[in-house]
Amino acid sequence: MSKKKRIVIALGGNALGNTLPEQMAAVKITARAIVDLIEEGCEVVVAHGNGPQVGMINNAMLALTHEDEKQPNTPLSVCVAMSQAYIGYDLQNALREELLNRGITDIPVATMITQVRVDENDPAFENPSKPIGRFLTKEQADEMAEKYNYIMKEDAGRGYRRVVASPKPQEIVEIGTIRNMVNAGELVIACGGGGIPVTLQGNHLKGASAVIDKDFASCLMAKNLDADFLIILTAVEKVAVNYGKPDEKWIDHMTVEEAKQYMEEGHFAPGSMLPKVQAAVDFAESKPGRQALITLLEKAKDGINGVTGTRISL
């Protein structure tokens, strides 16, 4: 029997919805696409974003401090942990149900609350740029900055938002447990929202006021698990150069060198497609035979079979 392809899937926000009811509906569709890959003979590990969810949790915790002055503010790292648990809860239940609906009874599903170590000296901490939470007036923003020492920035004329650092992931703390679970045949959900950002202080892991890009964390996890494929799911079927222009060109395959050239030429938007291509290149060049795929959620199965999507390899 041939060895199963090991795949790490990085789910984009569109796979999870923006509210609790939307998420419960979205994960059913997401589960079908993931179980399709399992039926194709793949061993799957799931990572996901948490943009809307962690913002919602952060706002709720903030509202609590306004209602009760004795309530301390909830650190962002704790909000990320909360988002991992509640997204994992919906996702693992949807996956379990979909597996059982197809008569697959031997694959347990579990969510791993995952900490990811970042470097406290990462330059990203000097220039926080990742907006989180709701838009505020200048007066509200000044109050937040004074009360909680938040860094607040004006956002394109729409108001003020808190900004935090987005450092690069250095180590997945629970990777040994994740690896054991995957090797035992479990379907594991890990590194949710890029992981809970922590810094190492002696033997103590201290939560950091940051968010980690889920594509970079997924890439690190895929390398650590010796995966064959990293699939980054997004809102488009393929990657394009000259996107939105008359000479727009959709790409089926890029070598690592071609992808690097396109990045240098500025074809991919920062904060959008650029980190996805960067993560894909990082994984594809990490070991011969490894490939990355960028495509739509519902096209993941076709992408693995070479029918669609943008594939990146050496």
Catalytic residue selected from 12, 133, 192, 214: 214
Catalytic residue selected from 5, 14, 168, 224: 14
Other Cβ atoms within 10 Å of 235 Cβ, number: 12
- The answer to whether 276 is a known catalytic residue is yes
Catalytic residue selected from 58, 130, 299, 303: 130
- The answer to whether 133 is a known catalytic residue is no
Rounded-to-integer distance, Cα 144 and Cα 109, Å: 40
Catalytic residue selected from 5, 13, 207, 260: 13
Catalytic residue selected from 238, 276, 299, 301: 276
- The answer to whether 130 is a known catalytic residue is yes
Q: Kindly calculate the radius of gyration of the chain based on its CA atoms and give it in whole angstroms.
A: 20
Q: How far is CA 250 from the centre of its chain?
A: 24
Rounded-to-integer distance, Cα 176 and Cα 172, Å: 9
Catalytic residue numbers read 13-14, 130, 214, 276
